[in-house]
Amino acid sequence: MARTVFVLNGPNLNALGIREPGIYGGATLGDIEKDCNDLAGSLGFKVDFRQSNHEGVLVDWLQEAGEKAAGVAINPGAYGHTSIALHDAIRSIDIPVVELHLSNVHAREAFRHTSMISPVAAGVIIGFGPGSYTLALRALAQILEN
Ligand code: DHK
């Protein structure tokens, strides 16, 4: 049976496609979900793709992933820069978590240069637009292979 990987999305990512397309591009979250599903089969994954604007819901989903998923790819949105709760949730689960961002946060405002979750992530993928998601899935496949 294919392993399940959670792909979690934080606040405002539901607005992709209409939100600041000069920064985030024109793809919708639905387009990105399709990209993930198209790739997942060849990696031996089943993707469970979710988005929430609420920090606690993301914590719930990380805990759920810890019980039933092989790994997590997460675009935490702005909570990545602020959330000790996400940091604690990630360090409390025993599966690899790959952090990802669409935009190159290091080329943007200083408040986007720090991440609360990078220190507890297996790795970080930044700045490849929707490609950050598929790269994160490939990274998880590599981690789980070893
Ligand atoms: C998405 C957001 O919503 C921002 O708050 C982050 C990230 C960057 C992204 O590039 O995917 O700063």
pLDDT tens track for 47-102: 999 999 999 999 999 999 999 999 999 999 999 999 999 999 999 999 999 999 99
Q: Based on the residue annotation, tell me whether 24 is a catalytic residue of this protein.
A: yes
Q: Is the pLDDT of residue 40 over 70?
A: yes
Domains defined for the chain, CATH in brackets? 3-145 (3.40.50.9100)
Residue 38: Cβ within 10 Å count: 11
Residue 40: C-alpha distances to residues 18, 20, 87, 143 (Å): 26, 28, 26, 15
Nearest CA to ligand 1 atom 3: 77
pLDDT at res. 1: 64
Nearest of 74, 10, 71 to residue 45 by alpha carbon? 71
3-state secondary structure 33-48: HHHHHHHHHHHCEEEE
Q: Based on the residue annotation, tell me whether 81 is a catalytic residue of this protein.
A: no
- Pocket residue to mutate for ligand 1, from 12, 55, 58, 102, most atoms within 8 A of Cβ: 102
Q: pTM of this prediction? A: 0.97
pLDDT at res. 146: 85
Nearest of 63, 97, 86, 75 to residue 15 by alpha carbon? 75
